[in-house]
Structure 1
């Protein structure tokens, strides 16, 4: 998921004339920030999976031949197979492009067991000088494997001390939890056939310690590893102005979504 732009933002402004222009602009910025934040969270989790998979720690199977190793330098503090915990240091140096994403700096990924094993904990920590697409990204993400059926691995994700600083110096802090299931690609080495489903959760984003947006899953979100955006599902968005449902569509791998405000008016959205 990446930045969202409202095709009909002018009409949206007109339909919400009882609200101040400042509130409308802030909500738009918060939605854009939310999209960027979720995108960065997903990117870092994928990096953790790739690092662990390339070192036979994703599960007890061979390398996924990921692109990560061609971009970043990955080291592990404990290379002995089957011995945990392990901490992977993923160093993107001064700038590295993988899957079209520019990153620099360092993240560490610590796993308490094979990522696919029930009870394992994966902790991702962003370094003090870590950037994604020129935005400084900070905070800690913890994934706890809560799988009860090996055919559908499941994790509870918690984000704490999240912070994103834009190129213009605007600061967004954020935190939240969600439950993520892998519903396809479980028994293959390749990552491109992986599909994830976010069944529940919410995330709160605050701009400069003031204005806030909360996004809550109301219909499971479908995210295909091979697609740049969420392809299905719904979020309830609550902000200064926003009070409605963001709908990602019919599971088509595209750039489009819709927003339905509480007054029933529907607006087209392009994901970019």
Structure 2
């Protein structure tokens, strides 16, 4: 079965908010005269967090691709026919093909999303290549496991490889959306001078708004996990290095707020440990960074 859909986030409201629940967000230094933390240390810490944010956003988008593809092929346990039709009619690319399965009860199923040489979505993101999605059951049915592999895949001309496994997937009006996603053997060429190896695992839980699926404005997500970046080229400071990023306390991201509003993120790089504190629940751009027991204010972009 072949169809077409747009990856412009026209999903059922129940799942739209998941796309914005990205794991780690970049930061930038606030103009300040405080020199308690050296520029080199905090710049390196924030550079690592920024790189993780970019890479995680690329892999996080694959979950949304799987949701969209499942909707168009009728293998999403929660999507309605109207939602799938809206997706299919939205744009001429990419194409979506459900391979060789005529029995609806036969699993696993494989869906191929083909972007061709260049497929630009409504948000200005251009993808190319192919995404292979293997599903052991209906999406959002308890016990289903989704495995995503990439073939000549690029996002805005950035080559991306790796395997993205999504499991422990569930949805209910009481608990909302919940899933765990894990990236292995990831590699992203952000530029000719910045090449990253990447592994990561995160658990996303909807903690508010599950009972009002048609009103995403009250959705809040909790994100907990860790990631490892191996700098093959372009490490902050110039030397090849490994950075680890982990949540000290789960970060909270609401649909209606641009920024992460709560939680702590730890960045370890070149024997330096920095902690980014996103606050106590206020929707604002303020955060702090602590390196070597010294703290300063930062502003989220």
Q: Return the TM-score normalized by structure 1.
A: 0.79
- Contact kept, 8 Å, 2:161 with 2:188, in 1: the verdict is yes
In the alignment, is the contact (CA less than 8 A) between 1:237 and 1:245 conserved in 2? yes
Shift of 1:8: 3.5
Q: Which residue of 2 aligns with 1:6?
A: 28
2:285 pairs with 1:261: no
- C-alpha deviation, 1:97, in angstroms: 2.2
Closer/same/farther in 2, CA of residues 229 and 69 from structure 1, 3 Å limit: farther
CA contact (8 A) 1:88 1:108 kept: yes
- Determine which of 239, 262, 265 is the counterpart of 1:232: 262
CA offset digits 1:74-98 (Å, max 9, x no partner) = 2221365454222221222213124
Report the 3-state secondary structure (helix = DSSP H, G, I; strand = E; otherwise coil) of the residue aligned with 2:48: helix
Does residue 88 of the first structure (1) align with residue 106 of the second (2)? Answer: no
User: Residue 45 of structure 1 aligns to a residue in which SS?
Assistant: helix
Q: Which runs of 5+ in 1 are unaligned?
A: none
Question: Normalized against structure 2, the TM-score is what?
Answer: 0.72
Alignment of 1:211 onto 2:241 = yes
Secondary structure (helix, strand or coil) at the match of 1:84 reads: coil
CA contact (8 A) 2:147 2:165 kept: yes
Does 2:98 match 1:76? yes
1:59 aligns with 2:77: yes
Which residue of 157, 161, 176 maps to 1:134?
Answer: 157
- From 145, 168, 189, the equivalent of 1:165 is 189
- SS of 2:293 mapped into structure 1: coil
Q: Which residue of 1 aligns with 2:6?
A: none
Taking only aligned residues, the RMSD between alpha carbons, in angstroms, comes to 3.5
Quote how far apart the aligned CAs of 1:202 are.
1.1
The answer for the alignment partner of 1:154 in structure 2 is 178
Summarize the Cα distance change of 1:202–1:268 in structure 2 as closer, same or farther, 3 Å threshold. Answer: same
CA-CA distance at 1:222 after TM superposition: 2.7
Q: For residues 73 and 161 of structure 1, do their structure 2 counterparts lie closer, same or farther at Cα, with a shift above 3 Å needed? A: same
**Greater RCO structure (CA 8 Å; 6+ sep):** 2
- Tell me the matched-pair count: 265
CA distance in 2, matches of 1:39, 1:116: 21
Distance 2:182 2:252 in 1: 19
**CA contact 1:73–1:90 (8 Å) conserved in 2:** yes
User: Greater CA deviation, 183-192 or 27-36?
Assistant: 183-192
Q: In 1, Cα distance between the equivalents of 2:260 and 2:148?
A: 22
In structure 2, stretches of 5+ residues that fail to align are: 1-21, 234-239
Residue deviations 1:238-266, cap 9 Å, x none?
Answer: 11264222233455666654323342312
Displacement, 1:126? 2.0
Question: For residues 98-132 of structure 1, what are the alpha-carbon distances to aligned partners after superposition, in whole Å with 9 as ceiling and x for unaligned?
Answer: 444332222122111112122110111122x2122
**Per-residue deviation, 1:146:** 5.8
**Conservation of the 8 A alpha-carbon contact between 1:24 and 1:240:** no
Greater Rg by CA: 2
Map of 2:166 onto structure 1: 143
When structure 1 is superposed on structure 2, of 25-34 and 206-215 the one drifting more is 25-34
